[in-house]
Chains A and B, each alone.
Chain A
Amino acid sequence: MPGGRHRKQELFPGLGTEGQAALARSTVLVAGCGATGGTIAALLVRAGVGRVRIVDRDFPELTNLGRQLLYDEADLAAGLPKAVIAREKLGRMNSEVEVEGIVADINPGNVLDLIEGVDLILDGLDNQATRYLINDAAVSRGLPWVYVGCLGSAGNVMTVIPGRSSCLRCLFPHPAPPGTLPTCDTAGIIGPAPSLVASAAAAEALKLLSGSGDLLTRGLFTFDLWTDNFRVISLPAPSPACPCCGERRFEFLAGWLYSGAATMCGIDAVQINPPGAARLNLAGLAGRLDPEALISVNKYLVRFQAEGFSFAVFPDGRVIIHGTTDHGQARALYDRYIGF
């Protein structure tokens, strides 16, 4: 309403009061809540999107603070997961928005539950594999999603409307083998890159949710802020030969191409997922460990050190092991200390 919280946004002719009301009726999933996801979530909560569900598997670290705008030094000391901190902070930004924070790794076993009831999925992820999984899940359910990626000073944004535009596998039929693509660890990253991709993705969300879907960017938006290179690459129509949206083989969703180990972007760490569903008694684990090895214990995670590595263990059996990027070594450490 005029004079209300969203007055200036409603004055923007592209939205108006009808567009604003449509935002308030909408539900989005922000998959991952780091540099890109945190900024996307903040922009959409402040814009008045009715329900914002955020899912993240991680907790804030010192090396995140240079670009992950939702988190600060006090959050490092608190030792809480990002999804819990983000829910609290986003709730203070706009109490009219229903914000849900879920601490979880997105995997083939939970992704369809996580996207249930949403109008749009936004990519705040830090890895290739989960994007292929989100692409499968979104296309299988006919849900739009926005691919958002960044690295160094560059970034890509592409809105996928199943059946109408290319999906991720139309462009990249198969993921690159682990270790062959540059990552935040090898190429580095500067804060403006995730902020720009997040802003572009949030604008795509506002268009789609407010009824201006015909104005969505048609193609792949790509930029490099360091070399002043910005453009939209035209994409072909969805490919009938695409394994996902053409042939409707959802190989990542089925779990066939999904690995239980993943290198974390921007930190020297590997995440190990337990085989199958698991629940872990965190208090029991903390009780079995040498008290001097414990870093912190709360209801969301247990952190401890051993053999020069640090471990963050979550109730779903998931463990993030810092100090290695070697999947084999991480699996061995997992078996030694957690041992499902």
Chain B
Amino acid sequence: MAEEVPEGVRVAELIDLFKENDQSLIVEVNRRFVHPRDYRTYEIKAGDQVELILPAFGG
């Protein structure tokens, strides 16, 4: 699912927007991992590709 988001939005706001559980998400921007401690400060720029991935703990 691809959606456009406003430029300058922070990762934490993005997680709220998509109502994801932020405790154990994998957040990736342009194929690089974003650490949970950076969610509140990391700003999305024009053209960034963001993915929110739920980690898998089954087996």
Q: How many residues of B contact A (CB 8 A)?
A: 18
B18 interface residue (CB < 8 Å to A):
no
For B54, the chain A residues whose CB sits under 8 A away are 151, 154, 181-182
* Contacting pair A181 B57 (CB below 8 A): yes
* Contacting pair B56 A180 (CB below 8 A): no
For B21, the chain A residues whose CB sits under 8 A away are 176, 180-181
Complex Cα–Cα for A182 and B33 (A): 21
Chain B 17-50 per-residue mask, 1 if CB under 8 angstroms from chain A, else 0: 0000101101010011101110000000000000
Secondary structure call for the B interface: loop
Segment touching B, from A8-16, A33-41, A307-315: A33-41
> Number of contact residues on A: which range applies?
35 or more
Query: A319 CB to closest chain B CB, in angstroms?
Result: 21
* Contacting pair A149 B31 (CB below 8 A): no
Closest to A128 in B: B57
B58 interface residue (CB < 8 Å to A):
yes
* Contacting pair B26 A171 (CB below 8 A): yes
Interface residues in A115-162 (C-beta closer than 8 Å to B): 123-128, 131, 148-152, 154-156
B5 interface residue (CB < 8 Å to A):
no
Complex Cα–Cα for A222 and B56 (A): 9
* Contacting pair A150 B28 (CB below 8 A): no
* Contacting pair B58 A265 (CB below 8 A): yes
B9 interface residue (CB < 8 Å to A):
no
Q: Which of B's residues lie within 8 Å of A, judged by CB?
A: 21, 23-24, 26, 28, 31-33, 35-37, 53-59
Q: Which of A's residues lie within 8 Å of B, judged by CB?
A: 32, 34-37, 123-128, 131, 148-152, 154-156, 170-177, 180-184, 189, 194, 197, 219-220, 222, 231-236, 239, 241, 265-266
